[in-house]
Amino acid sequence: PPTVRLEDYRPSDHLIDRVELDVRLDPHDTRVTARLAIRPNPAGRPGAPLVLDGDDLRLLALDLDGQPLAPAAFRVAPSALTLPEPPGRPFTLTIETRIDPSANTKLMGLYRSNGVYCTQCEADGFRRITYFLDRPDVMAVYTTRIEAEEAQAPVLLGNGNPVESGRIEGTGRHFAVWHDPHPKPAYLFALVGGCLDRVAKSFDTREGRTVELAVHVEPGKAERAAYALDAVERSMVWDERAFGRAYDLDVFNVVAVSDFNMGAMENKGLNIFNDKFVLASPETATDADYAAIEAIIAHEYFHNWSGNRVTCRDWFQLCLKEGLTVFRDQEFSSDMRSRDVHRIGEVRTLRARQFPEDAGPLAHPVRPRQYAEINNFYTATVYEKGAEIVRMLRTLVGESAFRAGMDRYFSDNDGRAATVEDFLVAFEAESGRDLARFAEWYERPGTPRVAVTGTYDAAERTYRLDFRQTRPGAGDDAPPLVIPVRLGLVGPDGPLGEATCPQVEDGVFVLDAFEAALTFDDVTAPPVPSLFRGFSAPVRVDMAMDDADRLTLLRHDSDGFNRWEAAQRVAARLMIGALRGAATDAGADAFAAALGAFLDARALDDPAFAALVLALPSENDLADEIGAEIDPDAICSARRALRVRIGASLNPRLRALRDALAEPAGTPFSPDAASAGRRSLRSAALDLIAAADPADGTALARAQIAAATNMTDRLAGLSTLALLPGSAREAEFAAFAECYVDEPLVLDKWFAIQATIPEDGTIERVRRLQTHPAFAMTNPNRVRALVGSFALANPTQFNRADGAGFALTAETVLALDRTNPQVAARLMTAFGSWRRLEPVRRAAAESALRRILATPGLSRDVTDIAGRSLA
Ligand code: HT7
Ligand code: ZN
């Protein structure tokens, strides 16, 4: 496929200032009339042809300033409309196109989901609605008239504010006109038409604007939208307080649809969501679902400033809106919940998704320099590593310069399409700091490594730390990065507050050379260093440290993240040691004893944190750490063995904890963080009990399912059972399916749990489930639940040595590619770590990849991922 390069960017030759759209909705024959006010761009090439993007469009009529264009004056194809010699002055082009929303299986452009008309235009879907300059630096003011049969689509929503609506007498049709006064790129355009129920409330911004907030959902599900509506309001309050950003329209609409390629979309004033991230009730949603809804509602709302008011000049700048907005939603969730617990969750996600991406064939810089298919660059690197860069920037310039820099960035770039450089300049101005070298974080792939050694001098009472950074994957000529290291020293009884070091300011040392050394004075006893507190930089840290020292950190560090990290490191060392034949039972027992002491001291004070400590590093975490010649079966066995040993050793404590945390009968469900934390610790305890004693675990899990008053407890019981083969498991699976046959989002959980069972029979089970009447390739959530969970969250079965897991995934990718290439390409990313497997599995994965790439008629999306994976 042709490659788009950052270095080739040039401004558009033409601009579009105003768009008047008239969309007459029909299931198969939707007519779109676009009146575009176009003018030559003073920054473009004079006299250049006008080339409007299209995708799968049929042109019905075309005129210029009210006159039909002569056939010789334009060229048309489904993918472009060209005026070779457009007027060298402002003019109005009126284009009528015809589209078939019911046939749109790609779910990009205008499509129907369960009978609801909706749109998805990012990154390049608007060109599937009308011919346009479909690039983010072309920003226009939109007025949209939507017309539809009233019985089919009683609700008609557009961007901006409602202007007018009415019936078209005698036709059964009606219309609504929406006007958005804020210039925006086409990717933020949206419309919705359908039968929808809603919940709403009004909100007064601190600037004195009264805004009608509404969440629209499938008929009969309005009650399940209450939590999302509340999250919208909390997001608005928070953005005013934390960033001084207020909402800027009279209405804010959220619409939930069931067929959606990603999580949600921040269209101006009309956010459209995958209903998985809107609908919640105690009976159907888990605590994790509630937290995700809160975070994604916030994320899309925050885009109103970071993305919409200030947008991206081109798609290479995607991290400018996505990394920044992830950072903003993470801060919001940290304020709503426990900061330490949330930070641990963020880092777990980064390590699970971004670190492997950065270490594999799909690695790319946070600001890529080239792409063949932009939809394949909505990645963990752009989002999650992009957010870490913003966090490091705040650590470097300090809280108050950071806030001032954000204010400056928003005001200097309001209404503009900006770049990463525009972003950094605002912080340079406010902090006086030169960020040219910091900008290197955006430029090259690869996770940096920082090796640290510590030396204590008892006579001098000094402690020296030597740092060395390396940049695997970044290229030999890569300069050193600017790495903020938040750190401190811990003694046998707690933090060593009196130790001082001139290079450490407010607890932060800035490592900006390949090598550097620090010396602390007044260190009265051999300390344990607590490095990268709060995970202050997205790096891998290599420091040899005894388990005993790490367990000192678990007990005494003032930093919550590093307390958790200490336990994770010990557990990882034990498991990796075991699979190399180098770990002892004594080590595991010492670790179990330390966990027991930790639970006694802290579990009831902070159950959510304790649950995270008990959740050992995942199989994928261990694979990432091992890095080469990976045998997922060996990893799974080593992990299981440690869980068995800990479960056996802590059994009485875990049982006592479960009892202490049980909610009194009749307690109403609350999704708040404290209640969720208690549930998660009870379930983590159950999981370890069951690992060591399957019979007891089965009984406890069944009892938990039977007594459950909410989906969190029910699903946790089922997840524990999923690891315990036998008739009890199958009976509970069957009962669950019967109970939730009419609840698609709950059935997705049922599909997903079964797909992740780490047993040989899972392949057959997944194939059987693919023929289940509820399975549909047309619904992305269902495909992700079954095949996505299998490929991305079942390491032993996806990576089976006989290649059966790769084959199943490849077949699904190829079948899906014919209808929805974007979702097919996402599924392909499961192959991203294939080169790090041991030789037999590696060969099987490679042949599956080659088979995919050789398939005739493959989409650009899948060709791009398969091609890069093999390169
Ligand atoms: N900005 C959006 C990213 C997106 C997307 C969403 C739904 C379907 C297709 C999409 N392509 C890109 C969502 C976000 O990050 O906020
Ligand atoms: Zn986003």
Distance 307 CA to ligand 2 centre (A): 8
Integer angstrom CA distances of residue 830 from 163, 365, 805:
47, 19, 11
- Ligand index nearest the alpha carbon of residue 326: 2
Using CA atoms, how far apart are residues 51 and 49, in angstroms rounded to an integer?
A: 6
* ipTM exceeding the 0.90 mark: yes
Report which of 606, 610, 645, 638 is spatially closest to residue 622, judged by C-alpha positions. 638
Report which of 66, 59, 60 is spatially closest to residue 81, judged by C-alpha positions. 59
583 pLDDT band, cuts 50/70/90, is confident
Is any atom of ligand 1 closer than 6 Å to the C-beta of 266? yes
Mutate to test the pocket of ligand 1, among 276, 293, 304, 378 (most ligand atoms within 8 A of CB): 378
- Of 1-5, 303-307, 325-329, 384-388, which gets the smallest average pLDDT? 1-5
Q: Is the confidence at residue 341, as pLDDT, over 80?
A: yes
Is any atom of ligand 1 closer than 6 Å to the C-beta of 409? no
Is any atom of ligand 1 closer than 6 Å to the C-beta of 261? yes
Integer angstrom CA distances of residue 527 from 29, 449, 673:
73, 23, 34
* Angle CA 438–444–445, to nearest 5: 125
- Label residue 508 left, alpha or beta by phi (over 0 means left) and psi (-120 to 50 means alpha): beta
Q: Is the confidence at residue 641, as pLDDT, over 80?
A: yes
DSSP H/E element including 217: strand 210-217
The two structure tokens encoding residue 773: 């009447």
Three-state SS string across 274-327, please? EHHHCCCCCCCCCHHHHHHHHHHHHHHHHCCCECCCEEECCHHHHHHHHHHHHH
CB under 8 A, 24+ apart: contacts of 176-180: 176/145, 176/146, 177/143, 177/144, 177/145, 177/146, 178/143, 178/144, 178/146, 179/142, 179/143, 179/144, 180/141, 180/142, 180/143, 180/144, 180/249, 180/268, 180/269
Q: What percent of the chain has pLDDT over 70?
A: 100
Q: Is the confidence at residue 139, as pLDDT, over 90?
A: yes
- In this predicted structure, what is the pLDDT of residue 3? 97
Q: What is the mean pLDDT of residues 134-156?
A: 99
Q: Is the confidence at residue 387, as pLDDT, over 80?
A: yes
Report which of 813, 818, 742 is spatially closest to residue 784, judged by C-alpha positions. 813
- In this predicted structure, what is the pLDDT of residue 264? 99
202 pLDDT band, cuts 50/70/90, is very high
Check if the beta carbon of residue 731 is closer than 8 Å to that of residue 763.
no
Reply yes or no: is the peptide bond before residue 845 cis, omega within 30 of 0: no
Which residues sit opposite 62 in a β-bridge? 95
- How many Å is the Cα radius of gyration of the chain? 28
Using CA atoms, how far apart are residues 575 and 582, in angstroms rounded to an integer?
A: 9
Using CA atoms, how far apart are residues 612 and 589, in angstroms rounded to an integer?
A: 19
Q: Are strands 50-53 and 80-83 parallel, antiparallel or unpaired?
A: antiparallel
- Tell me the pLDDT tens digit for each residue of 7-57: 999 999 999 999 999 999 999 999 999 999 999 999 999 999 999 999 999
Check if the beta carbon of residue 749 is closer than 8 Å to that of residue 716.
no
Using CA atoms, how far apart are residues 525 and 461, in angstroms rounded to an integer?
A: 8
Threshold 0.90, pTM exceeds:
yes
- In this predicted structure, what is the pLDDT of residue 609? 98
- In this predicted structure, what is the pLDDT of residue 484? 98
What ligand 1 atom has the least distance to the C-alpha of 822?
9
Integer angstrom CA distances of residue 679 from 145, 503, 690, 717:
49, 43, 17, 11
Q: What is the mean pLDDT of residues 557-568?
A: 98
Report which of 667, 682, 494, 675 is spatially closest to residue 603, judged by C-alpha positions. 682
Would the CA dihedral through 792, 274, 19, 421 be positive or negative? Answer: negative
495 pLDDT band, cuts 50/70/90, is confident
Report which of 834, 822, 820, 738 is spatially closest to residue 791, judged by C-alpha positions. 834
Catalytic residues: 300
Q: What is the mean pLDDT of residues 618-632?
A: 98
Distance 410 CA to ligand 1 centre (A): 22
What ligand 1 atom has the least distance to the C-alpha of 274?
7
Would the CA dihedral through 761, 764, 767, 769 be positive or negative? Answer: negative
773 pLDDT band, cuts 50/70/90, is very high
Q: Is the confidence at residue 599, as pLDDT, over 80?
A: yes
Using CA atoms, how far apart are residues 159 and 185, in angstroms rounded to an integer?
A: 12
Using CA atoms, how far apart are residues 118 and 158, in angstroms rounded to an integer?
A: 10
584 pLDDT band, cuts 50/70/90, is confident
Maximum distance among all Cα pairs of the chain, rounded to whole angstroms = 97
Q: Is the confidence at residue 560, as pLDDT, over 80?
A: yes
Q: What is the mean pLDDT of residues 501-519?
A: 97
Q: What is the mean pLDDT of residues 184-211?
A: 99
- In this predicted structure, what is the pLDDT of residue 494? 87
Check if the beta carbon of residue 486 is closer than 8 Å to that of residue 536.
yes
Domains of the chain by range and CATH?
16-37+48-278 (2.60.40.1730), 311-442 (1.10.390.10), 449-537 (2.60.40.1840), 543-692 (1.25.50.10), 740-871 (1.25.50.10)
Using CA atoms, how far apart are residues 409 and 336, in angstroms rounded to an integer?
A: 25
Check if the beta carbon of residue 849 is closer than 8 Å to that of residue 834.
yes
Check if the beta carbon of residue 717 is closer than 8 Å to that of residue 708.
yes
405 pLDDT band, cuts 50/70/90, is very high
Check if the beta carbon of residue 827 is closer than 8 Å to that of residue 785.
no
Tallying the residues shown for the chain, one arrives at 871
- DSSP for 435-471, please give it: -TTGGGGGT--S--EEEEEEEEETTTTEEEEEEEEE-
Query: Across 231-274, where does the E strand assignment appear?
Result: 251-257, 264-265, 270-274
- DSSP for 593-653, please give it: HHHHHHHHHHTTT-HHHHHHHHSPPPHHHHHHHH-SSB-HHHHHHHHHHHHHHHHHHHHHH
What ligand 1 atom has the least distance to the C-alpha of 296?
16
Mutate to test the pocket of ligand 1, among 108, 189, 262 (most ligand atoms within 8 A of CB): 262
Using CA atoms, how far apart are residues 211 and 229, in angstroms rounded to an integer?
A: 13
The Cβ-side half-sphere exposure at 252, using a 13 Å CA radius, reads: 29
Is any atom of ligand 1 closer than 6 Å to the C-beta of 122? yes
- Tell me the pLDDT tens digit for each residue of 56-72: 999 999 999 999 999 99
Q: Return residues with CB closer than 5 A to ligand 2 (ion).
A: 322, 325
- Ligand index nearest the alpha carbon of residue 264: 1
Using CA atoms, how far apart are residues 746 and 37, in angstroms rounded to an integer?
A: 47
Q: Is the confidence at residue 601, as pLDDT, over 90?
A: yes
Q: Is the confidence at residue 343, as pLDDT, over 90?
A: yes
Of all protein residues, the one whose alpha carbon is nearest to atom 11 of ligand 1 is 122
The two structure tokens encoding residue 185: 């790129």
Q: What is the mean pLDDT of residues 574-582?
A: 94
Check if the beta carbon of residue 619 is closer than 8 Å to that of residue 632.
yes
Q: Is the confidence at residue 126, as pLDDT, over 90?
A: yes
Of all protein residues, the one whose alpha carbon is nearest to atom 2 of ligand 1 is 265
Mutate to test the pocket of ligand 1, among 108, 122, 784 (most ligand atoms within 8 A of CB): 122
The two structure tokens encoding residue 431: 């902090």
Q: Are strands 58-64 and 91-99 parallel, antiparallel or unpaired?
A: antiparallel
Is any atom of ligand 1 closer than 6 Å to the C-beta of 378? yes
Using CA atoms, how far apart are residues 361 and 356, in angstroms rounded to an integer?
A: 10
Q: What percent of the chain has pLDDT over 90?
A: 98
The two structure tokens encoding residue 344: 């641990």
- In this predicted structure, what is the pLDDT of residue 557? 96
- Tell me the pLDDT tens digit for each residue of 656-678: 999 999 999 999 999 999 999 99
Report which of 791, 795, 780 is spatially closest to residue 748, judged by C-alpha positions. 780
Report which of 163, 155, 179, 325 is spatially closest to residue 255, judged by C-alpha positions. 155
